[in-house]
Each structure stands twice: as C-alpha cells, then as structure tokens.
Amino acid sequence: MHLAPRVLRRAVAGATVALLATAVGCAPQPEDDAAAKPSGSTADACARGALATETAGKLTVATDQPAYEPWFKDDKPSNGEGFESAVAYAVAEQLGYDKSAVVWQSVPFNKAFAPGAKTFDFDINQVSISDERKQAVDFSSGYYDVRQAVIALKDSKAAKAKSLADLKGLKLGAQVGTTSLGYIEDVVKPTAQPAVYAKNDQAKSALKNGQVDAIVVDLPTAFYITAAEVTDARIVGQFENRGGTPEQFGLVLDKGSALTPCVTAAVDTLRKNGTLAKIEQQWLSDAVDAPVLK
Amino acid sequence: MTVTAKESGQEDTSGPGDAYVPSARRLERERYKRTRARRATAIAALSTLVTAAVLYLVVVGAPGWPRTKETFFDGRYAREALPKVLEGLWLNVRLLLVCGAAVLVLGMLIAVARTLRGPVFFPLRVLAAAYTDFFRGLPLIINLMIVVLGVPALRLQGVTVDPVLLGGTALTLTYSAYVAEVFRAGIESVHPSQRAAARSLGLSNRQALRYVVLPQAVRRQVPPLLNDLVSLQKDTGLVSIGGAIDAVRAADIIVGRSLNYTPYIVAGLVFVALTIPMTRFTDWVTARMDRQRAQGGTT
C-alpha cells in the first residue's frame, strides 16, 4: 500500500471525524406539529384572531413574485387591490385578523408545496385544486371557479378557430405547472408538441413573436392580456370544464395544517354571504364570457 | 510477488534439484506484507460501513423522512416520469452533439486568433479577446433570454424563430468563449522551444502551429475540455426557456401537475448516467493517446 505523508493522512482522518461529527450534529429538528399548538374543537381552534399561526397574532400569506394582474395590482399584494389580494384580506378578516395583522411573503410556486416546515399560514397563487395535489398539500375550499381560454393574434388563422378540431393542427403554448397545459394535453391533443414556458411572460412574447400560434391561460388572465398587454391578440374561446366538475382555485396550506378547517370555514362563509361574488364582480367583471370551444 | 530464478541472478541449470527456493526471510517479508494489506482493507471497509450507517441513520431517522420519501422517491411517479424524461433527454443529447462540435471548432478558431503573432493581426486579436471577455462574463441565462426571445422580435426575414435553434446558438456563443480560453491556455503552455525547433526545421509558422503546437496543446487540455462539455450537457436544458421540452422541463411538467418531486430525481439520475460513460470514454482516449506517444516519441 502506498503510504500518504503523515500530514495528509492526519488531515483526511480529521476531515472524516469532522464530517461524522457534523452528521451527528445535525440533530433532527423536531417539527412543531399540531401537538405543540393549542388544540381543541374546531370552534375553539378557530378562535378569532388567535389561531396557531406561524407568527403569533399575525397571519402570514404567501404568493409568487411577480404577482400578476388581475389577481394582484402593481405587483403589490399588500395593497388589497386585485382579486386574490382582496380575497386574502377578506379571509383574514373572517379569521379575525385585520389589515395590519396580515404579513405578505413571496414564495415561488414550486417552493409552496415542498415538504418540511412552511414559513407561511396559507398561499394564494391561482393554484387549482386536484385530488393528486391533495397528496402533497392541504387546500381550503375553492374561492374561484376558473375556466381556461385560448388566445391568438387577431390576424392569424388560429384566431378563426371555432372548435377543438380547429386547434389540433396548431402549435400551442402554456405555462408549466398550470392546468392550462393539462387542457392542451388532455382536451385538445394537438399534433405538434406544445411549447411549455416557465412563466406566462415568456408565453406572451412567444405569441407576439409568432413562435406559437396560440396560448392557453385562465380566462381572467386572458382578458387582462388581450386588453392591456398583447392588444393585437384576442380570445378565441374558452374550454368546457374537464370531467364536468368546475375547476377551482384553493388556498394552499401545509399538509395536515391545523388551520385548514378554519380557513375552509372562512372561505365557505365568504361564498355564502356573497362577499366572494362581490370581490369577483369588482376585479374580474371583464371576464364575462367567451365562445365555448367544443 | 515471488521472484523467478532468472531474476534473482542464479544460474538456471534447469535441474530438478536446483529449483529456486525463496529464503525464510523473504517468505517472512511477504507474509508481513500480506497481513498489512489485509489490515488496510479491513480498516477501509469498516470506516466505509460506519460512515454509511451514520448517514443512513441521520437521513432515515429524520422526523420528516416519511414525508420526504413520498415526495422525492415515489415509485409510481418515477415510472410515469422516466419515458417522458428520456424523450426530453433526446433533445439534450442532440443539442450536446451539435453544439459540442460547433463549440470545439469555434473555440479553436478564437484561440488561434488570439495567439497569432504579428502587428497586422492586431484587430483580430482585439476582437477575439473582446468576444471571450464578453461572453464569459455574460450570464448564460441572460444570453439565452436575449437570443431566444429577443431575436424573433426583430422579425428579420429568413432568420429562424425556432427556440431550439436559437437556444443552441446562445449556448454555442457562451461555451465557445470558455473553450477558446481552455485552448489558448493549452497553446501557451507549449514550451517556446518547441515552436523554435519546428521553425528551425524549416516549418512555416502555420505548419509549426498545425503539426507541433496544437497537437500538444489539445492533448494537455482534454480534462478541462471534458469539464466544459459535461457542463454544456447540463446547460442544454436551459433552452427550455423558449418553450422546448427537454428532460428537466418534462420532469417540471409532471411536478407542476402532481406537486411531487420524484421526476426531478429521475431527471437528475439520468443526467448523471449520461455523464459517466462520457468521462470513461475520454479517459480511454487520453490513455490511448499517451500510449501512442510513448511508443512513437522516445525511440
């Protein structure tokens, strides 16, 4: 065996010991689970303004950055303007937290459902509820029934599409991780592979540049894009709901969060008393209707 | 190892009685060496086992392990992701082959341009230096954004809007700057006496470069070149900015739908599996070149 110089061997041995010490030193952090938080009946656990939140007395709400219109306004979730900002504050109000007790946090979509301790109480980021996703996170009940729409440049042949069959031969684009992409893959089933973008911004510029014939986004976003961002595009039409059930956006909570029942109850109350409808009327009233593509 | 009679300097009389018998001291020495080797192996095995056990216990004993396991190591999602990831990987491989070839050629041209002597080549040297400075400094992701999303916006006649072609162009621009520097370092590491000797044999400047300097420069630079190629292979995935679906984006799509990270692990392992044969291949090529040089060079 070739013997390394003594110094080197000592260094290696030392490093090994250090590594092992570090490994042992990363003592498992006990997760502060529901047991550490005040528990009790739902009514008790949802005591107004005294939930077991991340920061006591505050409600930490997360969303992605940039926050897009019409969901948020001016990329400032804390201004209470835009549909989701308004919904978040209405939910907070319902839970007994006034405007000053709401803290916003920017969390990318991908990080919002990573396992491990969450840094927020709930995330509001146009996340559609699905059974598959419920394996990874908790959802509140739905706060918005969303439909998907197709946008194309006004002077393109895609703009003349009247049915799903007319879309089949086109190059379609959508953002990754969205149900919009699911609609392309499962409903349209185009012959060309769809273009998949990290952000809607890139999908928009690809549409402008003619790299795709049409893009699929949710209806309110489609109205905003065609009205304000890509004005020479128009909404070709909207899809029917997949599987006959309306697709809904829900608030995202940590899996097994103690807050889920409270937040769900709050959203249900807001739906019943017409607050959600009012907020929708205020911020998404343009998203009236578009022809349905069958 | 035992020593034959011939090597130990004894007469080989090939008589049966005169067969070489190793001395007792020699046998003792060999036995000692064997025990030392065995002991070293045993210690190495033990320390490996201990390390593995500690790591295993730390990971599996973590309170979040069950959750982590189902989020990152879910067999069902791995099976779903693998075919899609491999389909995407085909795009990475094609980009690697085409861009890799283009990068090697372009990088070599720039390196040669930077090392040209003579005042007449001054502008060429400056241009090549400016190119490498700029593209080595420009973050690749921004380069890709500009090329993939900016060039089509110009609406130039006859210029492609295909995101894969544009993305490949951006990759080639950045990586040829890296590779040019690798080649240049190789060229400058060849001792000036080599060039002088070549010139004194009557080779022209160009011939000296072509037959004497470059072969030595390239051979020396194989490891760093391989580094850049492996790096390029992983960066090919960034063309997904333009909407193309590569291995990582294929994983992304499933992750976004299911909120389960297993497809990322699958994509990562697939990339590693692609890198290992590449490394072995270049090791083999280098060894072969060394052997040929050893045969042809010294006698």
Q: To 10 degrees, the CA torsion angle through A102, A108, A110, A112?
A: -10
Residue reference for tokens 């492996």: B230
A137–B256 C-beta distance less than 8 A? no
Residue with tokens 């009679």: B5
For chain B, the average pLDDT equals 87
- Give the residue from A121, A124, A106 showing the smallest Cα distance to A276: A124
CB contact under 8 A, B161 and A26: no
Question: For residue range A43-56, what is the model confidence (pLDDT) as tens digits?
Answer: 566 777 777 788 88
Secondary structure (DSSP) of A139-165: EEEEEEEE-EEEEEETTSGGGG--SHH
Q: Cβ(A53)–Cβ(A60) under 8 Å?
A: yes
Are residues B258 and A176, on separate chains, in Cβ contact within 8 Å? Answer: no
B142 forms beta bridges with none
d(CA A255, CA B64) in angstroms, rounded, equals 12
pLDDT at residue A14, as a whole number: 59
Per CB-CB distance under 8 Å, the chain A contacts of B77 are none
Name the β-bridge partners of A215.
A151, A173
pLDDT of residue A39: 43
Among the partner-chain residues A115, A173, A193, the one whose CB lies closest to the CB of B67 is A115
- How far is Cα A139 from Cα A260, in angstroms, rounded to an integer? 7
The closest alpha carbon to A186, from A128, A129, A241, belongs to: A241
A239 DSSP β-pair partners: A293
Per-chain mean pLDDT for chain A: 81
Whether residue B149 and residue A1 make contact (CB cut-off 8 A), yes or no, is no
Q: What is the pLDDT of residues B174-191, one digit of tens each?
A: 999 999 999 999 999 999
Question: How close B169 gets to chain A, by Cα (Å)?
Answer: 16
Give me A202's structure tokens.
């890139």
Indicate the Cα dihedral angle A29, A35, A38, A40, nearest 10°: 160
The encoded tokens of residue B67 equal 């959750």
* pLDDT confidence of residue A154: 87
CB pairs under 8 A between A and B: 108
Q: For residue A208, what are its two tokens?
A: 């402008």
Residues of chain A found within 8 Å of residue B242, distances taken between Cβ atoms: 195, 202, 206, 211
What is the full DSSP assignment across A84-139? HHHHHHHHHHHHT--GGGEEEEE--HHHHT-SS--SSSEE-S-PBP-TTGGGTSEE
| Contact residues for B9 (Cβ-Cβ < 8 A; gap 6+) | none
Q: Shortest Cα distance from A285 to chain B (angstroms)?
A: 28
Instruction: Name residue B55's amino acid.
Output: L
- The string of pLDDT tens digits covering residues A150-174 is 999 988 888 888 888 888 888 999 9
- For chain B, percent of residues with pLDDT exceeding 70: 93
The pLDDT tens digits for A38-85 are 444 455 667 777 777 888 888 899 998 888 888 998 888 888 888 999
Q: Which chain A positions have a beta carbon within 8 Å of B241's beta carbon? A: 197-198, 202
Nearest one of B82, B236, B85, B163 to A197, comparing CA atoms: B163
User: What 3-state class would DSSP assign to A69?
Assistant: coil
Query: A132 vs B258: CB contact, 8 Å cut-off?
Result: yes
Instruction: Give the one of A130, A177, A203 whose C-beta lies nearest to B252's C-beta.
Output: A177
Contact B149 A19 (CB under 8 A): no
Q: Give the number of other Cβ atoms within 10 Å of residue B146's Cβ.
A: 13
Sequence-distant (≥ 6) Cβ neighbours of residue A70 within 8 angstroms:
A82, A83, A220, A221, A223, A224, A283, A284, A286, A287
Residue A31 scores a pLDDT above 50: no
Alpha helices by DSSP H, B190-261: 192-200, 205-207, 214-220, 222-235, 247-258
- The rounded distance, in Å, linking the Cα atoms of B220 and B279 is 16
Averaged in consecutive runs of 10 residues, what is the pLDDT profile of chain B (299 residues)? 50 62 91 94 95 92 84 89 93 93 95 89 93 94 90 81 90 95 92 93 90 89 86 89 89 89 92 86 80 63
What is the number of other CB atoms lying within 10 angstroms of the CB of residue A125?
A: 21
Q: Between A1, A177, A211, which is nearest B37 by CB?
A: A1
